Amino acid sequence: MNTTELKYKAEIARYLNAAADDIFLYWKGRVALYAILKAMDVHKGDEIVLPAFTCVVVPNAIKYLGANPVYIDIDAQTYNIDLTQLESKITDKTKVIICQNTFGLSSNVERIVEIAQKYKIKTIEDCTHGFGGTYKGKPNGSYCDAAFYSTQWNKPFSTGIGGFALVTDKELKTKLEKVNTNLEPSTAKDKFSLSVLYFVREKVLTDNRYWQMVKLYRWLSKHKLVQGSSSGTEIESAQMPPHYFKSISSVQIKKGIYNISALDEMLVRRKKNAETYSNYLEKKEKTFVPKNLFNDHSFLKYPFLVKERNEVMRIAEKCKVPLGEWFCSPIHPVRKQFEQWNFRECDFPVATKYSNQILNLPTDVADVTPILRFLEKIEDYLL
Ligand SMILES: *Cc1c(COP(=O)(O)O)cnc(C)c1O
């Protein structure tokens, strides 16, 4: 291992109360999940339990191994697995339970682990939103057998695209190391298009140009001129795209070391802005994130609920507010042919309802004034 890679792993490990060699780096977060599942001996026909409010790349990793995703509807307040439904979904084929710290909120993790252990099932935490945050005082990812994280451009800190796994168990680590011997190295072209992505993101993309740039970015990735975060095939089918199982590149490692250094300050800012949003929404008697969840929330984004979401998006674009629309689908961003991912919308009423109502506010902004002004404008749409 070279020294830059070791330094990056050590920086990450510091946040997780772990050792540098508990950290495994990958081209993307989803690749980390796939590697962990493989190291857990997930095979054809196995069942993997996960929340019905996730990113399609999660069930994809399961399907690529021939296993079946088994969804559980979400709890209305935490967006994680509804704990009361968990045991009813466990069968003798269940191999792994995946829980998720959605928008940065961790919940019930120790209870999910407790239930899993009762049935001798392994657990994985999807911490793609929650790196740097804590659950009941311990770093996110501490409770399950393994955790994975993303450093995609709007995750806690960014390497454009990228991800890593945390595994502390010795036996699982040995298996993961073996799985990792099959990783493809990144190519010179990969590194070049990553550099294009960094340039666009840092030199051209300011908040004022957010909407213009989102469009340009989509156009560029459609024409394969930059590294999009998901190739078209990943949201159209559950077939593994070529060159999926790829290791991290030196370009990402360098970017990671640089960007992780700003994380502490960002975590403080995110919580402070979230508090401002909560106070505002509470005063207006709208749905807000209650204070008792703040300790376990790192607020990568601040979720809120609206009616007529498309109209609200249109107003956001006009006000130049960088509004997020994560989970516009229970398996974001899939809109059709849900059966390819073993998903039926009618079985998950809470997730389906929220996927029509949820939007998220940025928490990384220096000044929330324009966002509060925007909230005032859409007051009639707020739920
Ligand atoms: C972003 C994300 C992932 C995947 O991360 P990548 O690094 O893009 O592969 C997985 N799960 C959730 C909930 C995410 O938001």
Q: What is the mean pLDDT of each run of 10 residues along the chain (383 residues)?
A: 93 98 98 98 98 97 98 96 97 98 97 98 98 98 98 94 97 98 95 88 69 74 66 84 96 97 97 98 97 97 96 92 93 93 95 96 96 97 98
pLDDT in the model for residue 236:
86
Structure tokens at 264: 């502490």
Ramachandran quadrant class, 355 (left: phi over 0; alpha: psi -120 to 50; beta: rest): alpha
Residues paired with 290 in a beta bridge: none
The Cα–Cα gap between 1 and 23 comes to: 12
In Å, what is the CA distance from 368 to each residue of 11, 36, 109, 274?
30, 39, 32, 10
The HSE-up count of residue 114 (CA atoms within 13 Å, CB side) is 5
The predicted model scores a pTM of 0.94
Q: What is the DSSP letter of 156?
A: S
The Cα–Cα gap between 259 and 378 comes to: 34
By alpha-carbon position, which residue is closest to atom 11 of ligand 1? 55
State whether the beta carbon of 128 lies less than 6 angstroms from ligand 1: yes
- Tell how far CA 352 is from the center of its chain: 18
User: What would the pLDDT profile of 105-128 be if each residue is shown by its tens digit?
Assistant: 999 999 999 999 999 999 999 999
State whether the beta carbon of 301 lies less than 6 angstroms from ligand 1: no
* CA neighbor of 67 nearest in space, from 342, 316, 356, 354: 342
pLDDT in the model for residue 349:
97
Question: What DSSP element (H or E) covers 69?
Answer: strand 68-72
pLDDT in the model for residue 226:
64
Long-range contacts of 249-254 (CB under 8 A, 24+ apart): 249/27, 249/186, 249/190, 249/191, 249/194, 250/4, 250/191, 251/191, 251/194, 251/195, 251/198, 252/27, 252/151, 252/159, 252/160, 252/161, 252/162, 252/194, 253/4, 253/5, 253/8, 253/25, 253/159, 254/4
- Cα(57) to ligand 1 centroid in Å equals 7
Under 8 Å between Cβ of 108 and 78: yes
Under 8 Å between Cβ of 8 and 24: no
* CA neighbor of 145 nearest in space, from 109, 179, 180: 109
- Cα(158) to ligand 1 centroid in Å equals 12
State whether the beta carbon of 355 lies less than 6 angstroms from ligand 1: no
pLDDT in the model for residue 206:
63
Under 8 Å between Cβ of 167 and 234: no
Mutate to test the pocket of ligand 1, among 105, 128, 159 (most ligand atoms within 8 A of CB): 128
The CA-based angle 300-134-24, given to 5 degrees, is 85
Structure tokens at 159: 């390497």
The Cα–Cα gap between 105 and 296 comes to: 6
pLDDT in the model for residue 213:
72
pLDDT in the model for residue 225:
67
- Cα(151) to ligand 1 centroid in Å equals 9
Query: Which parts of the chain fold into alpha helices (H)?
Result: 3-15, 29-39, 57-64, 83-89, 109-118, 170-180, 188-199, 210-222, 232-236, 250-260, 263-283, 309-319, 349-357, 369-377
- Cα(376) to ligand 1 centroid in Å equals 31
Structure tokens at 100: 């998720």
State whether the beta carbon of 234 lies less than 6 angstroms from ligand 1: no
State whether the beta carbon of 28 lies less than 6 angstroms from ligand 1: yes
Q: Which atom of ligand 1 is nearest to the CA of 102?
A: 13
State whether the beta carbon of 55 lies less than 6 angstroms from ligand 1: yes
Q: What is the DSSP letter of 336?
A: S
Hey, is 65 helix, strand or coil?
Answer: coil
Torsion angles phi and psi, residue 265, rounded to 5 = -65, -40
- Tell how far CA 32 is from the center of its chain: 12
Is it true that the peptide bond before 333 is cis, omega within 30 degrees of 0?
Answer: yes
Which residue has tokens 């999009």? 228
State whether the beta carbon of 248 lies less than 6 angstroms from ligand 1: no
Under 8 Å between Cβ of 328 and 351: no
By alpha-carbon position, which residue is closest to atom 6 of ligand 1? 29
User: What would the pLDDT profile of 212-255 be if each residue is shown by its tens digit?
Assistant: 777 777 777 777 666 656 667 788 899 999 999 999 999 999 99
The CA-based angle 17-20-25, given to 5 degrees, is 110
